[in-house]
Structure 1
Amino acid sequence: MCVRLKIIRASLVLASLLVNGIAHAATANIAVAANFAAPVKEIAQAFESESGHHLTISAGSTGKLFSQIQNGAPFDVFLAADTKTPGKAEEAGLSVPETRFTYAIGKLVLWSPDPGLVEDEASVLETDRFERIAMANPKVAPYGLATEQVIKKLDLVDTLSEKWVFGQSIGQTYQFIASGNAPLGFVALSQVFNRGKIQSGSAWIVPENMYTPLAQDVQLLKHGQNNAAATAFIAFLKSPTALAIIESFGYGLPER
């Protein structure tokens, strides 16, 4: 009889723990810049496994995501591709004060799926070996603005002016190149780099002194200030697990 009572009590305790775990689990909506879409998926898997919380991820250009946030989109956390846009969110009262920090330093790369087109330098840009070249729209995508700066430093503005194909995000820009609509273009290093190497094709990693540093900030939005999953995810981005994933995709890590 005593054994049976112990089993029943143990079952009740386990059931209580499971119910409490489910009750405390939450779901957060994450707005993430397109360049960070791949890393955030890996980070989300680790976070969900460790915390029991759930994340819904929406990727796009930083400018368009910010516009959606301004218009009431129910995002809880905003991972931008720059520092300027999160600053605007703070000024507009859309984010929780003192939650903003730099989570990664992005890098720009000239990339082609063709293994022989880009020879680890910018010289291909001065040739007639291509008719189109892709870049992100500099008005809405920080990586597009960085590309614009590089082209000016290379003194190739006039040379390339008729060849540009513009993506509305760095994600769309990558698709233009990967699909063959443009044989090469400027994308985020994270889109073609993983575990220490370029995954395919040929590439020139643009020296970081050729463009304004691509520091990328994250912040907790007002919509997520009482969301346990959102606040836990913000904290998790500083964990050794998250930092290792970020670095594996070619990003620089901010000083803490």
Structure 2
Amino acid sequence: MPRIIAATLLAMLAIFSLPARAASVQVAVAANMTAPMQKIAAGFAAATGHRTVVSLGSTGKFYAQIRNGAPFEVLLAADDETPARLEREGFGVRGSRFTYATGRLALWSADAGALDAQADVLRQPPTGKMAIADPRVAPYGAAALQVLTKMGVLTDWQSHLVQGENIGQAYQFVASGNARLGFVALSQVTTEGRIARGSAWLVPQDLHTPLKQDALLLPRGESNPAARALLDYLRSDAARAVLRGYGYGF
């Protein structure tokens, strides 16, 4: 009889532990995080058993969706203002917000000879199109406009700008040849510290507002252990090593 009871207890413990091991978390992720998030999600699953269900898009659109009841449990934004605003307005769990990375902006071309270390092409008469993310909803797009304004070349390039819905679409415009140049996230064009294709100018950070990217636990994820575990994992050495490899700072 004791053996039967012990076996029954072990079976029950196994059953009750399954949800914790197999839990999933719905995450709204800024498009600049597309590549690193794939690796982070894989590492998170290996370390915890939890699964991430990732939706990629612009931070501004996620803001509207979260306010309208979208079933996200965690937000990984491309700025720090949007998560702070959601927290103030009651759409984020107070005290859960933190900066998980600081992004870098790059001007990129698929042409290996298009850009030099000073981005002299910006001061020359414009040729071809320049892609940026929609500055109304994408922090990297807003940063791109700040750069062009501070350099005094926005007026020259204004009629040559094409806007992507998010930084992912801006990248695709350049990668496909529909735009000669584009302001993108450094993480989209670099791997382990090297430009993977074409040429790029790493934008000096004093030309735009710092791209501090904050994470926020949303009310739907407050009781989900996988959501809290993901936020903890983003602070880990393993996650930071991935982010560092894509050009992010902290």
TM-score (ref. length: structure 1): 0.91
Q: How far apart are residue 19 of structure 1 and its match?
A: 3.0
**Is 2:91–2:219's contact at 8 Å kept on the other side of the alignment?**
yes
- Where do 5+ consecutive residues of structure 1 fail to align? 1-5
Instruction: Tell me how far apart the structure 1 counterparts of residues 6 and 106 of structure 2 sit (CA, whole Å).
Output: 57
> Residue 233 of structure 1 corresponds to which residue in structure 2?
230
Match of 1:89 among 78, 86, 89: 86
Kindly indicate whether residue 119 of structure 2 is the aligned counterpart of residue 122 of structure 1: yes
The C-alpha deviation readout for 1:124-175, integer Å capped at 9, x for no partner, is: 1233463211111111100011111100111001110110000110011011
How far apart, CA to CA, are the structure 1 residues paired with 2:97 and 2:76?
A: 10
- 1:31 is matched with 28
**C-alpha distance in 2 between matches for 1:213 and 1:181:** 28
| Residue 11 of structure 1: how far off its partner (Å) | 8.1
- Rate the CA distance shift 1:11–1:121 in 2: closer, same or farther, 3 A: farther
Give the Cα–Cα distance (whole angstroms) in 2 for the partners of residues 9 and 32 of structure 1. Answer: 47
Aligned mates of 1:190, 1:17 — CA distance in 2:
43
Select 2:164's aligned residue among 162, 167, 175. Answer: 167
What fraction of aligned residue pairs are identical, expressed as a percent?
Answer: 48
**Which residue number in structure 2 is paired with residue 200 of structure 1?**
197
Runs of 4+ in 1 over 6 A off after TM superposition: 8-14
Q: 1:10: Cα distance to partner?
A: 9.9
Return the letter of the residue paired with 2:61. K
Cα root mean square deviation, aligned = 1.9
- Go from structure 1 to structure 2 and tell me whether the alpha carbon gap of 1:135 and 1:97 turns closer, same or farther (over 3 Å shift): same
Alignment pair present for 1:54 and 2:51: yes
Corresponding position: 1:177 with 2:177: no
Kindly provide the amino acid, as one letter, of the partner of residue 186 in structure 1: F
Instruction: Give the aligned length.
Output: 248
Instruction: Give yes or no for the alignment of 1:111 onto 2:108.
Output: yes
Distance in 1 (CA, whole Å) between partners of 2:19 and 2:201 is 49
1:3 maps to: none
Most deviating of 217-226 and 119-128: 119-128
Are the equivalent residues in 2 in contact too, given 1:115–1:202 (CA < 8 A)?
Answer: yes
Counterpart residue identity of residue 239, structure 1:
S
Separation of aligned partners in 1, 2:180 and 2:76: 29
